[in-house]
């Protein structure tokens, strides 16, 4: 049976690695910033990026904070929507409101 849609674990693994590489952090640095013990940080992040293990939501939140992306970015399978989430996550509250207003206008046309 062929799968056209990636599994949630595969999406998480790909997004985590994508965000980590963009941030310039090593696996060990990311793990430590996310609160993982320094002696297992690299190995755990490596297992997350390979899709062998998926962290609990609380650890996903810590990883996302360390990477300066919304947690939803790590789970979004659509590349364009993931990019929008990453960009929106860096905006101030006022700019997020402006983006939302623009998106609502665009969705009606």
What's the CATH code of the domain at 47?
A: 1.10.260.40
Q: What is the pLDDT of residue 1?
A: 44
**Cβ neighbours of residue 77 closer than 8 Å, sequence gap 6 or more:** 5, 6, 8, 11
- Within a domain: 1: no
Count of the separate structural domains present in the chain: 1
Do 88 and 96 form a contact (C-beta atoms < 8 A)? yes
Span 43-61, pLDDT tens digits: 999 999 999 999 999 999 9
Name the stretches of the chain with pLDDT < 50: 1
Structural domain boundaries, residue 80: 8-108
pLDDT at 5: 79
Q: What is the pTM of this model?
A: 0.88
């Amino acid at each position: 049976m062929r799968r056209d849609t990636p599994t949630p674990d595969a999406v998480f693994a790909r997004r985590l690695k994508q965000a980590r590489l963009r941030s310039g952090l090593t696996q060990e640095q990311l793990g430590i910033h996310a609160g993982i013990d320094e002696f297992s940080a690299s190995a755990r992040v490596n297992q997350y990026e390979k899709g062998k293990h998926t962290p609990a939501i609380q650890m996903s939140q810590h990883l996302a904070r360390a990477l300066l992306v919304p947690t939803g970015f790590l789970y979004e399978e659509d590349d364009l929507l993931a990019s929008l989430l990453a960009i929106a996550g860096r905006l101030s509250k006022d700019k997020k409101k402006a983006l939302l207003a623009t998106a609502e206008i665009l969705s009606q046309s």
